[in-house]
C-alpha cells in the first residue's frame, strides 16, 4: 500500500483529533466525576420517585408497572428500596457530613415498622396500606447500615437499631439443617445466603461496637454454617438450601458473595487470624472474573453495591486495586449505556425501579469517595 503525503497528513490530523477527544474525556472524568454523577442521580430520584402528596416513594416510575399483590395495588415502594437508600445516604454523608440524609430515610422507615411478636421488625410494605411480610434480610440490611453509621458518628440510636435488628433476625434461627437463618418470617422452606451472610455482618459489627463475645460467637456459628452449606467450589455462594431435602438451589449472585467476603475481612480485623484474609483474597479473585470479567454487570446494581462494599473494605489490607478497577469498568459501561433521559438507570431488565437506583446511588457515592481518597481519577479509564 502506498501512503501519499496528503493521506499521511489527514491520518495525522485524525490521530491528533482522536487524542484530543480522549484527553477531553479524561479531563471530563477527572476528579469529582463520580460525585457529579452521584448528585445527578440524587436529583433524578427525588424528581421521579418521590411523591410529594403522599410523602412516600414510588416503586417504579411507570404507573403501568405498579403491582397488585393479595388484591391490593402497590404503587409505593417496598421496604427493600429503603435499605438501598439508607446505605447510600450513609455513604453520601461520609463525603458530605452536613447533608444529614439518613434522618429523612429513617422517617420513611417508621412507615414500615411492625411491633408484632416475637420481636419488632420492619414489614416489606407500608403498614397503613396493608402490611406485607417480614424478611430477615430486609431487617439485617438496616442493621448493617445503622451499625456502619454508629462506627462513624457514635450515636446511640444507631447502636440500638442495630441491636433491635439482631434480635429480630435471631427469631429466624433454629437447628434445622444444623443451624442457619430462614429467609422470611413464617416460611421454613429454605435457608438463604442472603439472610445468613448479612446476619454474620450484623453480629460482627455488634461485637466490634460492644465487645460482647456472644455476638462474635453467633457470627462464627452462622459464618461456619454458611460456608459448609452454601459455598460453591469456585469460592462463591449459592442462593439457598432447601430444608426438606438439603438440596442447594438458585443462582450465584454478587451480593451473597459480597456479604461473605466482607465477613472474612471483619473476622481478620477482629481476630488477626490470617486465614480469614487469605480466604477474602481468594473469594475476591474468583468474584472478579465471575462477575466483572465481561466489563458489564451481570446482575442488579444493588447486588453489585454489596460486593463493592467488600472490595472497598478489603482495600485496607490488600492494596491491589484490581478488584475496584474491574468493577469500575462495569460502572463506566453502565454510566455510558444504561442511563436514560430522565437521569435514572434502566438496568438489565429495562425497569426503572427504586431499589436499583438506590444501589447505583451507593455505588456512585463509594466511587466518589475512592476517587477522592484513592486517586482513581488519575488511572486509565
Average pLDDT over every residue of 72-99: 92
For residue 236, give the 3-state DSSP assignment.
coil
Which position has the higher pLDDT, 99 or 110?
Answer: 110
Average pLDDT rounded to a whole number, residues 257-265 = 98
Residue 142's alpha-carbon distances to 96, 112, 187, 207, 253, in angstroms, are 21, 12, 21, 17, 20
CB count in 10 Å sphere of residue 45: 21
What residue spans define the domains of the chain? 32-378
Write the pLDDT tens digit of every residue in 80-92: 999 999 999 999 9
336 vs 65 pLDDT, higher one: 336
Residue 191 bridge partners (DSSP): 182, 241
Alpha-carbon distance 254 to 323, whole Å? 13
Whole-angstrom distance, CA of residue 251 vs CA of residue 234: 13
The C-alpha atoms of residue 345 and residue 264 are separated, in whole angstroms, by 32
pLDDT per position as a tens digit, 102-118:
999 999 999 999 999 99
Cα torsion 64, 68, 72, 75: sign? negative
Q: Name the burial class of residue 198, with classes exposed (0-12), middle (13-18) and buried (19+) by CB atoms within 10 angstroms of its CB.
A: buried
Split at pLDDT 50, 70, 90, the class of 377 is low
> What's the CA gap between 374 and 352, in Å, rounded?
31
pLDDT at res. 8 = 38
Return the higher-pLDDT residue of 31 and 201. Answer: 201
For residue 237, what are the β-bridge partners? 231
Rounded Cα distance between 22 and 12, Å, is: 15
Greater model confidence, 348 or 228: 228
Q: Bigger pLDDT: 28 or 317?
A: 317
CATH number for the domain formed by residue range(s) 32-378:
1.50.10.20
Whole-number Cα distances in Å, 190 to 44, 183, 247:
37, 7, 9
Q: In this structure, what is the dihedral angle of CA atoms 354, 360, 365, 370, given to the nearest 10 degrees?
A: 170
Question: How does pLDDT run across 164-223, given as a tens digit for each residue?
Answer: 999 999 999 999 999 999 999 999 999 999 999 999 999 999 999 999 999 999 999 999
Q: What is the mean pLDDT of residues 262-287?
A: 98
What is the C-alpha separation between 213 and 207, in angstroms, rounded?
7
Amino acid at each position: 500500500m502506498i501512503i501519499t503525503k496528503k493521506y499521511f497528513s489527514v491520518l495525522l490530523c485524525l490521530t491528533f483529533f482522536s487524542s484530543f477527544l480522549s484527553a477531553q474525556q479524561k479531563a471530563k472524568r477527572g476528579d469529582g466525576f463520580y460525585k457529579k454523577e452521584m448528585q445527578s442521580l440524587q436529583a433524578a430520584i427525588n424528581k421521579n420517585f418521590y411523591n410529594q402528596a403522599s410523602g412516600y416513594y414510588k416503586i417504579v416510575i411507570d404507573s403501568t408497572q405498579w403491582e397488585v399483590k393479595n388484591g391490593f395495588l402497590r404503587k409505593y415502594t417496598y421496604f427493600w428500596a429503603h435499605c438501598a437508600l439508607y446505605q447510600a445516604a450513609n455513604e453520601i454523608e461520609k463525603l458530605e457530613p452536613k447533608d444529614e440524609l439518613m434522618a429523612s430515610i429513617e422517617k420513611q422507615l417508621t412507615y414500615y415498622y411492625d411491633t408484632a411478636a416475637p420481636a419488632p421488625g420492619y414489614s416489606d410494605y407500608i403498614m397503613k396500606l396493608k402490611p406485607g411480610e417480614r424478611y430477615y434480610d430486609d431487617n439485617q440490611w438496616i442493621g448493617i447500615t445503622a451499625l456502619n453509621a454508629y462506627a462513624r458518628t457514635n450515636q446511640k440510636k444507631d447502636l440500638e437499631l442495630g441491636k433491635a435488628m439482631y434480635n429480630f433476625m435471631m427469631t429466624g434461627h433454629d437447628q434445622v439443617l444444623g443451624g442457619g437463618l430462614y429467609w422470611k418470617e413464617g416460611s421454613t422452606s429454605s435457608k438463604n445466603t442472603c439472610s445468613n451472610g448479612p446476619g454474620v455482618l450484623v453480629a460482627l459489627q455488634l461485637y466490634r461496637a460492644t465487645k460482647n463475645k456472644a455476638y462474635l460467637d453467633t457470627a462464627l456459628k452462622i459464618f461456619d454454617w454458611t460456608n459448609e452449606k452454601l459455598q460453591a467450589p469456585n469460592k462463591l455462594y449459592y442462593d439457598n438450601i432447601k430444608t426438606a431435602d438439603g438440596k442447594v438451589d438458585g443462582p450465584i449472585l454478587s451480593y451473597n458473595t459480597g456479604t461473605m467476603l466482607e465477613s472474612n475481612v471483619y473476622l481478620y480485623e477482629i481476630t488477626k487470624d490470617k486465614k480469614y484474609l487469605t480466604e477474602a483474597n481468594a473469594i475476591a479473585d474468583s468474584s472478579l472474573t465471575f462477575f466483572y470479567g465481561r466489563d458489564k454487570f451481570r446482575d442488579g446494581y444493588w447486588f453489585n453495591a454489596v460486593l463493592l462494599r467488600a472490595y472497598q473494605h478489603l482495600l485496607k489490607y490488600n492494596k491491589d486495586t484490581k478488584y475496584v478497577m474491574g468493577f469500575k469498568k462495569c460502572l463506566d459501561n453502565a454510566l455510558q449505556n444504561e442511563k436514560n433521559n430522565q437521569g435514572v438507570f434502566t438496568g438489565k431488565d429495562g425497569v426503572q425501579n427504586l431499589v436499583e437506583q438506590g444501589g447505583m446511588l451507593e455505588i456512585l457515592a463509594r466511587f466518589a469517595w475512592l476517587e477522592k481518597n484513592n486517586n482513581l481519577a488519575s488511572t486509565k479509564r
